[in-house]
C-alpha cells in the first residue's frame, strides 16, 4: 500500500538539501576527544597532578563545571583547551536587565586567567531548560547575551564561545532521526537560544547518553547498537535511507533535524557529555566495567577515524566523555559516582585501551588497542573528505530517486 503524500515529499526534500550542503563540506581541523573533569569527590588528585595525568594520556580538551581558580591557575600555559561553566544558581544574577553582574563575573572569573589558560568556551548553566525551573529558564538566553557582551568588551569573544549544554529531554521525538523535533512548549525558548548560537557562530551542546535509553528498555534496544559495536544491525531511517549503526549518532542527527525545523541549519552540534557507568544499582541494567570499557573504547576508535554523523558525514563530531574520575560525593544513583575512566588516584578504572606517553607500542607500524590515546590523528583526513563527497553524492541521488518514485 502506497502511504506517500505531498507533505511527506516536502519533508524529505529539505532534509536531502541539508545533506547536500553539509556532506560536501571538508572535514574541519582534527581535534582531540575531550573529557569532563568533575570535582565532586573528597579524594581526587590536585589540579597540578590532574594536568600531569591529562598530558600523560595526551588529553588536550577538558570541561569543568565551575571556574575553580586552582584549576585555571594550574592549567596556565599548558595548551589544554578548557570549557568553564557558569553554575545554574548564578543565572538569575547574570541574566537580569543590568549587564554589570555578567561583566563583573567575566572580570573576576575569566580575565585574570585568559589567555594564559586556554579557555575556549563558557557553558552558561547545564541542562537548564529541562531542569524543571521555568523561572531559571527565562534567564538563560539573557545571561548568555550578557556574558558574551562582557567578553566582547575585552576582545575575548573571538576565542571564547558561549553556549549551554542540554539534555535530550528537550526533544519531543528522537526516533527516527528525521522525525526529531523540540518539545512544542520549548519551541519559543529554543528559537531564541538557536538565534543566539547562529549569530555568534557558537555550537549546540547536547548531553547524549545511550546508556539511559538502554537502561530503560533493555529488551527493546540491542546492546551492540548502544555500545558502538562493529557489525551492529543498527537501523535505517525510512525518510532519508540513512543507516545508523549506533544510537549516539542517531541522537545527534535528531537534534540536527529539530534545529532545521526551526530554521537553523548551520549550527554545529557537539556532544558535551556522553559515557557509560562501570557500576550501578540493581535496576540500572547494563552498568558494568565490561560495557563501560566497550562503549568508551569503541567511541575513541570512532574519534580516531574522524567520523561525522550520517547527516553530516564531512564534519567530524566533537565529543566530550563523561567523566575523568569516579566522584564519590555525587548525589543520585550508584551509576552517578562511577562514570570515571580513572579512579581518584589516577589509575585506570578499567582497560579502555588508553596508554600514557611512557607506554611502549606493541608495534611501531600497527597501532593496537593498547596504544590508543584520547588524541585523534588525521592521516586519513583527505581520504575521509573524498569518502564523504562520494557518500553524500550517493545519498543525494538515492534520495531523489526515492522522491521521484513516490
Per-residue pLDDT of 67-91, as tens digits, reads 999 999 999 999 999 999 999 999 9
Q: Which of 140, 51, 135 is nearest to 87 (CA)?
A: 140
* pLDDT of residue 45 exceeding 70: yes
| 217 CB burial (10 A radius; 0-12, 13-18, 19+) | exposed
Q: What's the confidence (pLDDT) of residue 374? A: 52
Mean of per-residue pLDDT scores for the chain: 85
Q: Is the pLDDT of residue 389 over 90?
A: no
pLDDT at 356: 65
Phi/psi of residue 251, each to 5°?
A: -65, -45
181-224 tens-digit pLDDT: 999 999 999 999 999 999 999 999 999 999 999 999 999 999 99
Indicate which residue of 81, 127, 318, 327 is catalytic: 127
Q: What is the pLDDT of residue 203?
A: 98
Beta strands in 147-259 (DSSP E): 161-163, 166-167, 171-173, 181-182, 204-207, 235-236, 243-244
The answer to whether residue 273 is catalytic is yes
Distance in angstroms (rounded) separating the CA atoms of residues 401 and 372: 41
Strand duo 204-207 + 269-274: pairing: parallel
- The catalytically annotated residue of 81, 273, 284, 318 is 273
Q: Give SS3 for 209.
A: coil
Of the ranges 44-58, 165-179, 362-376, which one carries the lowest mean pLDDT score?
362-376
pLDDT at 357: 55
* Alpha-carbon span 108 to 81, nearest angstrom: 19
Statement: residue 6 has pLDDT above 90: no
Which of 3.40.50.2300, 3.20.20.80, 1.10.3720.10, 3.40.50.970 would CATH assign to domain 30-63+165-379?
3.20.20.80
pLDDT in tens, 152-182: 999 999 999 999 999 999 999 999 999 999 9
CA-closest candidate to residue 275, choices 341, 229, 223, 176: 341
Q: Is the pLDDT of residue 49 over 50?
A: yes
Q: Residue 250 is placed in which grid cell? A: 542517531
* Percentage of the chain exceeding pLDDT 90: 75
Grid-cell match 566533537, residue found: 318
320 forms beta bridges with: 34
Q: 131, 88 in Cβ contact below 8 A?
A: yes
Our answer to whether residue 127 is catalytic in this structure is yes
Query: Residue 128 — pLDDT band, cuts 50, 70, 90?
Result: very high
Nearest to 222 by CA among 245, 240, 253, 191: 245
Amino acid at each position: 500500500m502506497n502511504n506517500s503524500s505531498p507533505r511527506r515529499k516536502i519533508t524529505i526534500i529539505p532534509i536531502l538539501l541539508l545533506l547536500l550542503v553539509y556532506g560536501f563540506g571538508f572535514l574541519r581541523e582534527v581535534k582531540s576527544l575531550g573529557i569532563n573533569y568533575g570535582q565532586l569527590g573528597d579524594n581526587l588528585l590536585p589540579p597540578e597532578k590532574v594536568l600531569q595525568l591529562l598530558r600523560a594520556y595526551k588529553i588536550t580538551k577538558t570541561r569543568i563545571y565551575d571556574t575553580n581558580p586552582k584549576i585555571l591557575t594550574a592549567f596556565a600555559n599548558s595548551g589544554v583547551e578548557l570549557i568553564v561553566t557558569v553554575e545554574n544558581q548564578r543565572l538569575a544574577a547574570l541574566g537580569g536587565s543590568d549587564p554589570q553582574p555578567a561583566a563583573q563575573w567575566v572580570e573576576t572569573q575569566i580575565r585574570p586567567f585568559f589567555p594564559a589558560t586556554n579557555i575556549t568556551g563558557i557553558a552558561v548553566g547545564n541542562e537548564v531548560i529541562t531542569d524543571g525551573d521555568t523561572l531559571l529558564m527565562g534567564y538563560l538566553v539573557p545571561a548568555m547575551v550578557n556574558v558574551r557582551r562582557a567578553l566582547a568588551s575585552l576582545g575575548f569573544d573571538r576565542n571564547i564561545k558561549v553556549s549551554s549544554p542540554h539534555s535530550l529531554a528537550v526533544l519531543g521525538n528522537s526516533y527516527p532521526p528525521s522525525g526529531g523535533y523540540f518539545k512544542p512548549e520549548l519551541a519559543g525558548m529554543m528559537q531564541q537560544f538557536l538565534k543566539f548560537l547562529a549569530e555568534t557562530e557558537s555550537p549546540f551542546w547536547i548531553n547524549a547518553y545511550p546508556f539511559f535509553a538502554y537502561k530503560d528498555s533493555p529488551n527493546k534496544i540491542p546492546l551492540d547498537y548502544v555500545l558502538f559495536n562493529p557489525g551492529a544491525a543498527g537501523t535505517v531511517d525510512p525518510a532519508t535511507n540513512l543507516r545508523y549503526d549506533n544510537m549516539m549518532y542517531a541522537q545527534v542527527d535528531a537534534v540536527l533535524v529539530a534545529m532545521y525545523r526551526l530554521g537553523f541549519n548551520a549550527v554545529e552540534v557537539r556532544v558535551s557529555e556522553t559515557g557509560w557507568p562501570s557500576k550501578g544499582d540493581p535496576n540500572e541494567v547494563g552498568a558494568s566495567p565490561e560495557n563501560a570499557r566497550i562503549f568508551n573504547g569503541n567511541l575513541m576508535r570512532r574519534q580516531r577515524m574522524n567520523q561525522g554523523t550520517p547527516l553530516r558525514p564531512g564534519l567530524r563530531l566533537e565529543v566530550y566523555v563523561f567523566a575523568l574520575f569516579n566522584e564519590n560525593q555525587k548525589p543520585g544513583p550508584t551509576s552517578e559516582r562511577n562514570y570515571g575512566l580513572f579512579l581518584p588516584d589516577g589509575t585506570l578504572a578499567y582497560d579502555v585501551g588508553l596508554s600514557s606517553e611512557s607506554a611502549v607500542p606493541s608495534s611501531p607500524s600497527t597501532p593496537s588497542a593498547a596504544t590508543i590515546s584520547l588524541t585523534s590523528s588525521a592521516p586519513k583526513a583527505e581520504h575521509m573528505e573524498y569518502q564523504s563527497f562520494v557518500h553524500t553524492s550517493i545519498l543525494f541521488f538515492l534520495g531523489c530517486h526515492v522522491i521521484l518514485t513516490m
